[in-house]
Every structure is written in structure tokens, then in C-alpha cells.
């Protein structure tokens, strides 16, 4: 699906994914859905990757579902459009773990074992916002326009949005945005919890952060992401055990010893691949 996503692999293990449909503001069509799913699945099993940056080509991050799809919905083809997005006509079918295919477009980034950073500019509407919310970190331009826009089309967020929004904002805020579909700015997104930080050049900031992460022990980074994912669903007791298990595996490992030695010798670390 190279026609929808352009890949750049940096020597330090940073992978840059560029949504490459600028003429349509990177709107989600079946090919874009497929490309995002394929990217998530490929990165999930890639031991060489250290961090991922997702951005949009042209003047937007992602404008949501392709407008032509909505036109077909207006002609009575809603089930076909939504079915194509979800990999079939039954949206309740679980095709990717706990998700259907449309949900996996956003939820996949939680399953990628390294930090995923979304660099968001222009617009992030509907499904495009949900893709950004699936990332671990969102760096957003202040003038970005964002919206939980599904209500405009008589729909609800159905790409993992309900799971992802509840982690970031108060319930009443999520409800207000879901019920109204109003457009809000990057600056308000930061206040609400949907943006991690603001930057005039989100992509440059995201790449700088990703390269910094790539210079840390890949074992510790991956363990940290596993624990942070577990924190969303585990009990305190289970999470404390998980912390201990992860830490015990790290202590004395080759990359952990290299981190210590590099600090003692005041030199850049030379980490091996993640175990």
C-alpha cells in the first residue's frame, strides 16, 4: 500500500510513516485503511524499530473518512462503506484481537511495542482524530482543527475512540465533544488532554523526540510501553507484579549493563537489538 503511506527508515531505528494522500487531505478510504493496518502489523513484529512517527502529507494530518464514501452512504450504501472499513459487513466481528479492522487502524499503535508519536497539523477530524489518539504521544500545531465529527453524519466514534478518549479527558468533555461534533483548536486540545504538547513544526518536534527515544535502551523502552498499556486495565496488585517482572528481566541484561557503562564513561550507548 505504498501509494497511501510512505515509509522512511532511519539508521537509528526510527520509522517515519507519512499518510500520502495530500489531494484528499489524507482522508480514509479502503486503501488507506488497508495501508494503516498493514503498517501496524509489520511494525508490531519488527525487532529493529525503536520509535515511530506518523504524520500527514500536505496541509492536513487526516480529514477523516473520505467524503465520496459519505456520498455513497447518502445513496443507501452505508453498510457497504462501513463494512469495507471494518473488513466485512458485520462490525461486531473481531478480526484483529479485541478490535474489528476499522478499530485496529487506531488501536494498532498501542500494539506496536515501541513509542508511536503522531505529528498533527491542519485538521484531524473523525477517524483521523482517532488515528492520532491511538498514538502514545501527540504533538500538535496550535492552529490545528480537531473534531469528534461522527455525529455530523449520524454516527458515533467507532475506531476505538471511546476507549482512547476516556484515557485522556474527563467524561463530561468526551460527552460534549461526541454529542456536538464541534471543532476545537490545537491549543484547546492541549487544555483538554488530547494533545501532549504544542509545536509550530510538529513533525520536526516529533522526529527529534523519536530520535531521542531511539538512543535509549530498547529493552527498557519496550518494557515501559508494556507496563503503560497494562496500567489501563490491570489492578494495582497485578500492575505491581508486572513492574517487578519487567524490572527483574532488565537488571543485568546486556542493554541495561551498557546503559550503566555508557553513563559511567560519559559516552553514547551502543545498544544491541531488543531481546
Calculate the alpha carbon distances from 7 to 23, 32, 138, 182, 229 in Å.
Answer: 19, 14, 19, 33, 26
Cα–Cα dist 78/80, whole Å = 5
Give the pLDDT of residue 94.
Answer: 82
Q: How would you classify residue 139: left for phi > 0, otherwise alpha for psi between -120 and 50, otherwise beta?
A: beta
Cα–Cα dist 204/208, whole Å = 6
pTM: 0.91
Give the pLDDT of residue 261.
Answer: 93
CATH 3.90.226.10: which residues of the chain? 5-214
CATH 1.10.12.10: which residues of the chain? 217-265
Give the pLDDT of residue 153.
Answer: 86
Residue ranges of the chain whose pLDDT lies below 70: 1-2, 69-89, 275
- CATH architecture of residue range(s) 5-214: Alpha-Beta Complex (3.90)
Q: What residues are paired with 56 via a beta bridge?
A: 19
Give the pLDDT of residue 96.
Answer: 81
Give the pLDDT of residue 42.
Answer: 96
Give the pLDDT of residue 107.
Answer: 94
* Contact yes or no for 160/184 (Cβ under 8 A): no
Q: Please name which of 209, 206, 179, 177 lies closest in space to residue 192, comparing C-alpha atoms.
A: 177
CATH of domain 217-265: 1.10.12.10
Residue with cell 517515519: 16
Q: Extract long-range pairs of 229-236: CB within 8 Å, 24+ residues apart.
A: 229/110, 232/167
How, if at all, do strands 145-147 and 184-185 pair? antiparallel
Give the pLDDT of residue 93.
Answer: 85
Give the pLDDT of residue 44.
Answer: 94
* Contact yes or no for 226/133 (Cβ under 8 A): no
What stretches of the chain adopt beta strand conformation (E)?
5-9, 14-19, 51-56, 116-120, 123-125, 137-140, 145-147, 184-185, 197-198
Cα–chain center distance at 48:
19
All three cell numbers of 178, joined, read: 461526541
Amino acid at each position: 500500500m505504498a501509494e497511501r503511506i510512505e515509509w522512511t527508515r532511519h539508521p537509528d531505528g526510527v520509522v517515519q510513516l507519512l499518510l500520502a494522500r495530500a489531494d484528499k487531505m489524507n482522508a480514509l478510504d479502503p486503501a488507506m485503511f488497508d495501508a494503516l493496518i498493514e503498517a501496524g502489523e509489520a511494525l508490531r513484529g519488527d525487532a529493529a524499530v525503536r520509535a515511530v512517527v506518523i504524520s500527514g502529507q500536505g496541509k492536513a494530518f487526516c480529514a477523516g473518512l473520505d467524503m465520496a464514501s459519505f456520498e455513497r452512504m447518502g445513496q443507501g450504501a452505508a453498510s457497504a462503506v462501513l463494512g469495507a472499513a471494518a473488513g466485512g459487513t458485520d462490525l461486531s466481528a473481531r478480526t484483529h484481537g479485541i478490535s474489528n479492522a476499522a478499530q485496529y487502524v487506531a488501536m494498532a499503535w498501542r500494539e506496536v511495542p515501541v513509542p508511536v508519536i503522531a505529528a498533527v497539523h491542519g485538521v484531524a477530524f473523525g477517524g483521523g482524530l482517532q488515528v492520532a489518539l491511538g498514538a502514545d504521544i501527540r504533538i500538535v500545531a496550535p492552529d490545528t482543527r480537531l473534531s469528534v465529527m461522527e455525529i455530523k453524519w449520524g454516527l458515533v466514534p467507532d475506531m476505538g475512540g471511546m476507549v482512547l478518549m476516556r484515557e485522556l479527558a474527563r467524561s463530561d468533555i468526551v460527552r460534549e465533544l461526541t454529542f456536538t461534533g464541534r471543532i476545537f483548536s490545537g491549543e484547546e486540545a492541549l487544555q483538554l488532554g488530547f494533545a501532549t504538547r504544542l509545536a509550530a513544526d510538529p513533525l520536526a518536534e516529533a522526529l527529534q523526540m523519536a530520535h531521542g527515544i531511539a538512543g535509549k535502551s530498547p529493552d527498557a523502552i519496550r518494557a515501559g510501553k508494556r507496563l503503560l498499556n497494562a496500567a489501563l486495565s490491570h489492578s494495582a496488585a497485578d500492575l505491581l507484579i508486572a513492574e517487578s517482572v519487567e524490572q527483574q528481566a532488565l537488571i543485568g541484561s546486556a542493554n541495561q549493563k551498557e546503559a550503566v557503562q555508557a553513563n559511567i564513561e560519559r559516552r553514547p550507548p551502543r545498544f544491541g537489538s531488543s531481546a
